[in-house]
Amino acid sequence: MHDFEFYNPTKIIFGKGKENLIGKVLKDCGIKKVLFVYGQSSIKKIGLYDRVISSLNENGIQWVEHGGVKPNPVLSHTREGIEKAKKEKVDAILAVGGGSVLDEGKAIAVGAKSDVDVWEYFHRDKGITDALPVFTILTLAATGSEMNGYAVITNEETQEKLSIGSELIYPKVSILNPELTFTVSKEYHAYAAVDAIAHTIEWYFTCTVCPNLENRLVESIVKTVMETTEKILQNPTDYDARAEFMWAATLALNGITRTGYAGGVYVNHMIAHSLGALYDLPHGACLSIVIPAWMWWYKDKNRKQFDRFAKEVFNLPTAEEGIKALKNWFSKVGAPVSLQDGKIPSSDIDKIANHVYNTTAKLWGLDKIYTVDKIKEILYLALRSNTL
Amino acid sequence: MHDFEFYNPTKIIFGKGKENLIGKVLKDCGIKKVLFVYGQSSIKKIGLYDRVISSLNENGIQWVEHGGVKPNPVLSHTREGIEKAKKEKVDAILAVGGGSVLDEGKAIAVGAKSDVDVWEYFHRDKGITDALPVFTILTLAATGSEMNGYAVITNEETQEKLSIGSELIYPKVSILNPELTFTVSKEYHAYAAVDAIAHTIEWYFTCTVCPNLENRLVESIVKTVMETTEKILQNPTDYDARAEFMWAATLALNGITRTGYAGGVYVNHMIAHSLGALYDLPHGACLSIVIPAWMWWYKDKNRKQFDRFAKEVFNLPTAEEGIKALKNWFSKVGAPVSLQDGKIPSSDIDKIANHVYNTTAKLWGLDKIYTVDKIKEILYLALRSNTL
């Protein structure tokens, strides 16, 4: 068991209709005016926008709107939000949407309390020392952003997709109503499932110290994500399945499944972020392309964990069979499992490998292990669905 | 999945030698003077007392001592601590010890910021509105007090053992160094294991809504507690086993294993608290006496969960076999499994049942289900080790 610190001060309010509490929650925290951050039209279609506005009005909370956040949230729109937050002197961010909306909300929270351009924080040139408090209502369970201190933003100009992390951007309160996810399409649910699984298995497979307790927690989450996803794809309004999936996705990246591991790295996220930046593919789709290939490439470096995964999750005897089973499961639920599936030509592999190496690999200090050649080896394993 | 709120703002600092950070931690939180609460001589024997004092001195933190906390912490000593905290105008509690020391520290934290007698909060006549911040260094993993908002105190005069619960008494920071538990005796480790298991299975067995995700988390903790306990009894200085046990015991009662369950109650704790109050037996020993008997009495009321437990934890086909296996395991590790083992005569059963009914059952609103007669049925099942 490796030394660790664990701190997660986000309050979760979970259940049916809880979004109607948002005005009261803000009022109880002394908030007077929020920047109301959201995405496209979906929160209006399901009536959530109106319910939020009613709750804000009833509790005397002023708001300024910042809609139009993109699925891979971009820096230019984040900068607009920061300008608005500063000009309107809001004292909190209210982000209503999926992980992208929450992430942009967090980045705005940082930028609004800073005199330097927010992108400097993503390059880790500058440490975050202040941020507006963030409140969230989640409409798509996947990224875990509702209960962690991370945010990922894409700089469209430089084609970089980078993250920030700080205790200051843990949401104060996140409201999770599984009913709000009933309208998530089958396609996007599959990507969400891949993302949640990825968040737990990254450290599980790359650990050098791998406590059984943590292994069991990870396996519990993976099994729950798979089980509930199959139910959701059958019946998108299965409340209990949506609810268990939602909470599992939160626990997958709230820090609890990482405690005690040594050596863990987010290598699949590293490669997937480049695919996201270069091709604007959904994050979960980038991960499902990368994960089986990376697993195959890495399996003998941590054989015990890969064998364990096969046995505990799929009741299969070998690492190889476990990897194939996970890949087949991704395919079955509708996630792409190769560059070909993602319509990325093999002629792009050099470009992608260089992008990974020069952006995230260097920034995360993984460039010693993941050289351009190594990344290419992994990408070639991801070339076609039948490569493995 | 049942609606829930989850909020746990305790920061955990986990690992070897981390107790030496305590002075800096307090200083960083702006603390100038603490009430240093501890138990008997054990923290002096292992050199912890000296290390804490050094760290406080190095960081300019003043302290007032309040040693002598008993294993079942008592109200009179708590009141002395409150007097001292008020008189010396400390601005925080530093509790160094096991769950009993932490619980007394929390009760002092409440009493020191109140004008009424602290026992009124235990009778829930009065809600907690203020408390001194609490910091802890844990030396015995069992109760989970290091990461929750509960404290249990015994009133020696009235023979009541009652609890308080408040967001205000979550420790700000808890330091967990598994090495500090190396000297915990085999006997007390067994009680600790029973306590940690009890914390997770109480809601698991009494739930009316029982999500698979939570069931899996509970089973993960139970399996880890059992696995590591067997290693610890073989080798008390097995760091990894002590560490995994320690963290599992924390997770067992930090709220995470309760999210999403409906209907859960702490019925075994309810009965065990009376045994603790009447006979001053260790808490874990009271629980190991009660649990198998209660499980047998209750099993058909939630058959699915009991069958599941047997299968997942012991790979056994029926609830009955699972209960017997858990009872045998308690016995094997050295915990008593009957009133006879605890040297409590059958002639006391009436007295105990009335005590349970008139103290905790009424206070916790469980008196409708757990009448005196029902409690007697359970206690008779606990009479002798071979009763089941």
Give the C-alpha distances (Å, rounded to integers) separating B197 from A42, A117, B103, B208, B318.
Answer: 44, 51, 19, 20, 20
Which residue range forms the structural domain that includes residue A371? 185-381
Evaluate whether B263 touches B211 at the Cβ level (below 8 Å).
no
H-state helical runs in B235-348:
239-252, 267-279, 283-298, 303-314, 319-333
For residue A41, the model assigns a pLDDT of 84
The answer to whether residue A16 scores a pLDDT higher than 90 is yes
| Statement to judge: residues B281 and B165 lie in one domain | no
Tell me whether residue B387 is in a domain: no
Evaluate whether A138 touches A176 at the Cβ level (below 8 Å).
yes
Tell me whether residue B255 is in a domain: yes
For residue A385, the model assigns a pLDDT of 87
| Statement to judge: residues A209 and A171 lie in one domain | no
Beta bridge partners, B162, equal: B153
Rounded Cα gap, residues A235 and A229, in angstroms: 10
Containing A223, the helix (H) or strand (E) segment is helix A212-234
Interface touch B243/A15, C-beta < 8 Å = no
What is the number of structural domains in chain A? Answer: 2
| Statement to judge: residues A172 and A36 lie in one domain | yes
| Statement to judge: residues B194 and B173 lie in one domain | no
* Mean local confidence (pLDDT), A248-270: 95
| Statement to judge: residues B322 and B308 lie in one domain | yes
Give how far B147 is from chain A: nearest CA, Å.
Answer: 11
The answer to whether residue A124 scores a pLDDT higher than 80 is no
| Statement to judge: residues B164 and B192 lie in one domain | no
Tell me whether residue A5 is in a domain: no
Q: DSSP secondary-structure letter at B346?
A: G
| Statement to judge: residues B153 and B52 lie in one domain | yes
For residue A272, the model assigns a pLDDT of 96
Interface touch A220/B220, C-beta < 8 Å = yes
The answer to whether residue A125 scores a pLDDT higher than 80 is no
Give how far A180 is from chain B: nearest CA, Å.
Answer: 14
Q: What is the CATH number of the domain that holds A103?
A: 3.40.50.1970
Tell me whether residue A3 is in a domain: no
Q: Which residues contact A125 (CB under 8 A, 6 or more apart)?
A: none
Q: Residue B286 CA to chain centroid, in angstroms?
A: 12
Give how far B208 is from chain A: nearest CA, Å.
Answer: 14
Evaluate whether A161 touches A72 at the Cβ level (below 8 Å).
yes
* Least CB–CB distance from A224: residue in B7, B216, B244: B216
φ, ψ (nearest 5 deg) of residue A131: -165, 150
Question: What stretches of B133-252 adopt beta strand conformation (E)?
Answer: 134-138, 150-155, 160-165, 173-176
Q: Which chain B residue is nearest to residue A212, measuring alpha carbons?
A: B224
User: pLDDT tens-digit profile of A48-62?
Assistant: 999 999 999 999 999
CB atoms closer than 10 angstroms to residue B307: 18
3-class DSSP state of B149: coil
Best to test chain A binding among B4, B5, B6 (most A CBs inside 10 Å): B6
Final residue in a domain of this structure, among A160, A180, A200:
A180
Tell me whether residue A127 is in a domain: yes
* Least CB–CB distance from B244: residue in A211, A248, A251: A211
Give how far A139 is from chain B: nearest CA, Å.
Answer: 16
Q: What is the CATH number of the domain that holds A354?
A: 1.20.1090.10
For residue A388, the model assigns a pLDDT of 79
User: pLDDT tens-digit profile of A192-234?
Assistant: 999 999 999 999 999 999 999 999 999 999 999 999 999 999 9
Rounded Cα gap, residues B215 and B218, in angstroms: 5
| Statement to judge: residues B189 and B333 lie in one domain | yes
Tell me whether residue B341 is in a domain: yes
Residues of B in contact with A312 (CB under 8 A): none
Q: What burial letters (b/e) apply to B73-93, b meaning 16+ CB within 10 Å? A: bbbebbbebbebbbebebbbb
| Statement to judge: residues B67 and B161 lie in one domain | yes
Rounded Cα gap, residues A380 and A345, in angstroms: 11
Residues of B in contact with A4 (CB under 8 A): 12, 14-15
What is chain A's mean pLDDT, rounded? Answer: 96
Amino acid (one-letter) located at B346: S
Token pair belonging to B75? 């109200």
Concatenated DSSP letters of A81-144: HHHHHHHTT-SEEEEEESHHHHHHHHHHHHHTT-SS-THHHHTTSS-------EEEEESS-SS-
Question: What stretches of chain B adopt beta strand conformation (E)?
Answer: 4-14, 33-38, 62-66, 92-97, 134-138, 150-155, 160-165, 173-176
Final residue in a domain of this structure, among B124, B151, B180:
B180
| Statement to judge: residues B188 and B170 lie in one domain | no
Residues of B in contact with A219 (CB under 8 A): 216, 220
Amino acid (one-letter) located at B224: T
Token pair belonging to B267? 């019925």
The mean pLDDT values, 10 residues at a time, for chain B of 388 residues are 97 98 98 97 94 98 97 96 98 97 98 96 88 98 96 93 94 98 96 97 96 98 98 98 98 96 94 93 96 98 98 98 98 97 96 96 94 98 89
Rounded Cα gap, residues B235 and A150, in angstroms: 40
Residue count (chain B): 388
Concatenated DSSP letters of B75-116: HHHHHHHHHHHHHTT-SEEEEEESHHHHHHHHHHHHHTT-SS
Token pair belonging to A283? 């994050």
CB atoms closer than 10 angstroms to residue A211: 23
Q: DSSP secondary-structure letter at B169?
A: G
Final residue in a domain of this structure, among B180, B202, B229:
B180
The bridge status of strand A160-165 relative to strand A150-155 is antiparallel
- Chain B residues with CB under 8 Å of a chain A CB are 1-16, 18, 178, 211-213, 216-217, 219-221, 223-224, 227, 239-240, 243-244, 247-248, 251, 256, 259-260
Token pair belonging to A28? 């109880």
For residue A126, the model assigns a pLDDT of 77
Tell me whether residue B6 is in a domain: no
Rounded Cα gap, residues B372 and B356, in angstroms: 8
| Statement to judge: residues B255 and B268 lie in one domain | yes
Evaluate whether A232 touches A191 at the Cβ level (below 8 Å).
no
Rounded Cα gap, residues A177 and A29, in angstroms: 21
Give how far B45 is from chain A: nearest CA, Å.
Answer: 25
Containing A162, the helix (H) or strand (E) segment is strand A160-165
Give the C-alpha distances (Å, rounded to integers) separating B127 from A11, B30, B79, B158, B176.
Answer: 21, 27, 18, 21, 30
Interface touch A227/B211, C-beta < 8 Å = no
Evaluate whether A35 touches A93 at the Cβ level (below 8 Å).
yes
Rounded Cα gap, residues B215 and A220, in angstroms: 9
Containing A7, the helix (H) or strand (E) segment is strand A4-14
Burial class (CB in 10 A: 0-12, 13-18, 19+), B259: buried
| Statement to judge: residues B221 and B168 lie in one domain | no
For residue A211, the model assigns a pLDDT of 97
User: pLDDT tens-digit profile of A323-338?
Assistant: 999 999 999 999 999 9
- Chain A residues with CB under 8 Å of a chain B CB are 1-16, 18, 178, 211-213, 216-217, 219-221, 223-224, 227, 239-240, 243-244, 247-248, 251, 256, 259-260
A92: left (phi over 0), alpha (psi -120 to 50) or beta: beta
Tell me whether residue B147 is in a domain: yes
For residue A95, the model assigns a pLDDT of 98
- ipTM of predicted assembly, 2 dp: 0.95
